[in-house]
Amino acid sequence: MNKKSEYTFEQQKQSQQKLQSIHQQCQIATKKIRQGLLEGGSIKMQNQEIMGIFNDIYKLTEDAGKNQNSQNQIKVKSGESIEEQLINYFKGFLQEFITDIYQKFNEFKDEKESVLYIVSKTYHDYKAYSYWLYKMFSYLDIFAMPQIHTNLSSTSLKLFKEGYFDKCNKLILNTILQFIQETRKNGILLNKQIKQLIQLFSVMGSKEVELKHMKEVGEYDYVCKKQQDASIFYKDQFQSHLLQETQKYYKEEIDDKQKFTTPEFINWGNSIFKLELDMCIECYPKSQLVIENKLKMMLVKDQASRLINSPTGVGYMLQYDRTEELKQLFLYILRSKECISHLAKAYQNYFEQQGQIINNSIEQEQQQQKDGRQPHEAELYFTRILEIMEIAQNILKQQLYDEPEIQKSYSGAFMCVINKNEKSPMWLAIYTDIIIRSEKGVNEMETDKRLSKIVSLFQLLYQRDVFFRHYQKFLSNRLLNQQIQNLQLEKQLLQKFKGETGTNVLTQLSSMINDIEQSNRFASDQQISKNTKFDLNVFLLSQGCWPITTILDNIIKPPQIQNVLENYEKLYLVKHNGRILTWCLNMGQGELIYKIQTEKYYLNVNTIQMVAFLQFNKKDSFTIKDFLDMTKIDKIDLENSLIPFVCMKIISREKQDIEEFTDDNEVLKLNLGFSNRAKKMKLLPNQKMQPKRANKVKEQNQEELQQMEQLNKQREFVVDSQLVRLMKSKKTIKHHELLENCQSMISIFKPDVLFIKKRIENLIERDYIRRDEKDWNIYHYQN
């Protein structure tokens, strides 16, 4: 026992001596380091020197460790273990240094430049000092420090924080903020040293760090082990203040710049973004996101509406073609994506207005030039609309980068414009007709371009069924006129329409084209035109597909015509047994050769006119009654057919040229002295060569009404079938879901909610669907 204590005492003494020697060695070393730091050069330490101390500590602790194992504890005189004492040495050296640098700081704290300098300098020095000290004591990290749950680097940081940073962080913060403020005022980043100061804030919060020496740059730095602690501290102690300052500063700035025009403001704003970004990257990269967001909020989001709608905003830019400014505005607003909607709205408004101007102007001009044979108003209208659409499209593409939301506004604007004009569906049909008619001979590229323009207009149209009703009439006219007939083109266009509306809707139209193809094929197969003297071209039209209301099959045809037609019928029925052919004489056209006074005239007439006029082969004059009896042509048709002849002086009558055939006994005579310089004459019935019939307008109105009613019925049917289809597949469905689905599935026109609701009610009444007993917003399908 005694021996043992003696031994330990001996040992204690030895250790004590060793400790002291370590302390002395360290003192010498630290002095050297300090000297080095003071001189500002790099620290020159012999590796040996450090390794010496390290080894001493290593051995000492090793011995102490052994003893610790054999005996429970070895107490050093003051009750501290060797490790504890070593740690205290370490702390002591650091604290000494801290006291020093804090003193220095106090000497210079009145001037911000010096604060900046001194803090960054001393911080750097401290890190260097700690680093070398750490090198010496680093064995403790393995052996002793884990027991007290820390390490040397963290201890060094902790001491610095407590002894230095906590005492002057307010001042440091203010200094930083002052420098930032100055940077903002001058618009240029002046002093990058604040970076070091900011670094303090991002490190001081961490509880566990590792001190590293980056030899290449001669820098020392704490590396945080747990980012979370550090970042909380950073946010609380620095970032929040920075944000506050930023907000305060720019609020005043923005208030000050309210008088700026939109482009001016944007220029200014962009420069701010650039400067701030530079500052972020240079000095506080961790705060880049929040600063950016803050600025976006203040400079873009809060200002967006004002910038866009100001007198120098979007409207102005569009009107005066300030495309570059618009582009800048767009890019500026794009910083805050949700604000694009403002821009989209302004864009839409502008083009809606422009479109509305066109809508109105066409109406006015129409009144002005009623008789001047100017281009058709439909052509005028859509040419203008297309022009402005192109402008809008170009801007969208070039300045606004095809932004999806603005794209929507584009179609929204023109949809609104076109559908506001009630005549659009009809006019588009007319316009299409004009385009197609003028299309012969134009090259394919151009044609394709024009067609796609028509389709782009069609896309915007709500009342597509009305459009098709008119379109059908024009299509029929085009197809039945061999000069204009262009099946390839018609097919192409129809295909495009089909793509827009989905199939099924256009069967009538495609079967019309089909009919013509069939007729042509049949004619060439049978070589009909070559078999007979009479040049005959027949169109075989499927019943119900063509907009033909009157079929005049009971007209008594002159033998010349009758024979040819019968011949054709025979040929046809051989090929297609069981089909029924009826002749639509009012639809056909032909050329008559009229020989009088040794001259030959070519008369372009329709088939009824032909039938009527050929009567004059029998004798030179007839009463109207004769005509009616011989031909069985309707009286009004007869008027329409023969008055052109009267007008052209081929036939003379007793009464005024253009007058109704009221007196059945009136005689129509062939003008035997007829002569005309023009040898080719067009005598087809037209508006000008028709008597004005009082009840015609009424009839037309009635017809219009009837058609509207028919259209409505059709629409009801479309909606009904869609609703039933939906109900059938879903069985049970919520009201608004049914409504939305139904709306989205109908492409041929745009049913409004009221219309669909009425149809739903109708279906309930007809027991197709019923309401749920409890939740009346739900419908069930009735099997």
Partner 1 sequence: MRSKPNQAQEDIMIKDLQRVIQLNDLQAREILNQTQWNLQKATNYILDIQKSGIKIEEQFKKYATKQSLVIDENGISQFCKELEIDLMDPVILYISYIFKSETMGIYTKFDFLYGFTILKVQSTSELKKVLKRLKDDLNNNQEIQKSVYKYCFDFTKQKNRKDIELRFAQGLWETLLTNTFPIMKQFLKYQIQEKDQKHISRDTYYMVWEFCVQIGEDLSKYDYKNGAWPTFIDGFYLYMFPNHKQ
Q: Which residues bind partner 1 (CB under 8 A)?
A: 735-736, 753-754, 757-758, 760-761, 764-765, 771, 776-779
In degrees and rounded to multiples of 5, residue 195 shows phi and psi of: -55, -45
Beta carbon of residue 773, minimum distance to partner 1 (angstroms, whole number):
10
Whichever of 286 and 759 has its CB closer to partner 1, that residue is: 759
Whichever of 18 and 758 has its CB closer to partner 1, that residue is: 758
Beta carbon of residue 757, minimum distance to partner 1 (angstroms, whole number):
5
Question: Of 372, 322, 374, 314, nearest to 343 (Cα)?
Answer: 314
Beta carbon of residue 715, minimum distance to partner 1 (angstroms, whole number):
16
Beta carbon of residue 738, minimum distance to partner 1 (angstroms, whole number):
9
Beta carbon of residue 761, minimum distance to partner 1 (angstroms, whole number):
6
Question: Of 491, 573, 584, 575, nearest to 541 (Cα)?
Answer: 584
Pairing relationship of beta strands 589-596 and 599-606 according to DSSP bridges: antiparallel
Beta carbon of residue 740, minimum distance to partner 1 (angstroms, whole number):
10
Question: Of 625, 633, 629, 626, nearest to 607 (Cα)?
Answer: 633
Beta carbon of residue 722, minimum distance to partner 1 (angstroms, whole number):
17
Beta carbon of residue 245, minimum distance to partner 1 (angstroms, whole number):
47
Whichever of 216 and 765 has its CB closer to partner 1, that residue is: 765
In degrees and rounded to multiples of 5, residue 37 shows phi and psi of: -65, -40
* Residue matched to tokens 């994506």: 337
Whichever of 185 and 736 has its CB closer to partner 1, that residue is: 736
Beta carbon of residue 778, minimum distance to partner 1 (angstroms, whole number):
8
Beta carbon of residue 770, minimum distance to partner 1 (angstroms, whole number):
8
Beta carbon of residue 708, minimum distance to partner 1 (angstroms, whole number):
16
Question: Of 321, 312, 447, nearest to 392 (Cα)?
Answer: 321
Whichever of 440 and 713 has its CB closer to partner 1, that residue is: 713
CB 619 within 8 A of CB 636: no
CA gap 475, 512 in Å, rounded: 8
Task: Give every strand in the sheet of 651-653, ordered side by side.
Answer: 621-623, 667-670, 651-653
User: What residues contact residue 593 under an 8 Å CB cut-off, 6+ apart?
Assistant: 600, 601, 602, 603
Whichever of 674 and 755 has its CB closer to partner 1, that residue is: 755
Beta carbon of residue 781, minimum distance to partner 1 (angstroms, whole number):
15
Whichever of 157 and 719 has its CB closer to partner 1, that residue is: 719
* Residue 734, helix vs strand vs coil: strand
User: What residues contact residue 658 under an 8 Å CB cut-off, 6+ apart?
Assistant: 643, 646, 647, 689, 690, 691, 692
Whichever of 643 and 738 has its CB closer to partner 1, that residue is: 738
In degrees and rounded to multiples of 5, residue 375 shows phi and psi of: -55, 150
H runs (alpha helix) in 689-750: 694-730, 735-745
Beta carbon of residue 719, minimum distance to partner 1 (angstroms, whole number):
14
C-alpha gyration radius of the chain: 49
Whichever of 416 and 484 has its CB closer to partner 1, that residue is: 416
CB 57 within 8 A of CB 137: yes
CB 458 within 8 A of CB 436: no
Residues, the chain, total? 783
For 718, other C-beta atoms within 10 Å of its C-beta total 20
Q: Annotate 221-235 with b (16+ C-beta within 10 A) or e (fewer).
A: bbebeeeeebbebbb
Whichever of 26 and 760 has its CB closer to partner 1, that residue is: 760
Beta carbon of residue 758, minimum distance to partner 1 (angstroms, whole number):
6
CA gap 660, 636 in Å, rounded: 8
CA–CA distances in Å: residue 422 to residues 3, 416, 435: 119, 11, 21
CA gap 712, 618 in Å, rounded: 51
* Residue matched to tokens 């210079």: 108
Whichever of 596 and 764 has its CB closer to partner 1, that residue is: 764
Whichever of 262 and 348 has its CB closer to partner 1, that residue is: 348
Element (H, E) at 652: strand 651-653
CA gap 439, 744 in Å, rounded: 35
CA gap 470, 427 in Å, rounded: 9
Beta carbon of residue 492, minimum distance to partner 1 (angstroms, whole number):
39
Whichever of 684 and 764 has its CB closer to partner 1, that residue is: 764
Element (H, E) at 395: helix 377-398
Question: Of 765, 766, 760, 758, nearest to 779 (Cα)?
Answer: 760
CA gap 577, 564 in Å, rounded: 19
Whichever of 322 and 759 has its CB closer to partner 1, that residue is: 759
Whichever of 675 and 777 has its CB closer to partner 1, that residue is: 777
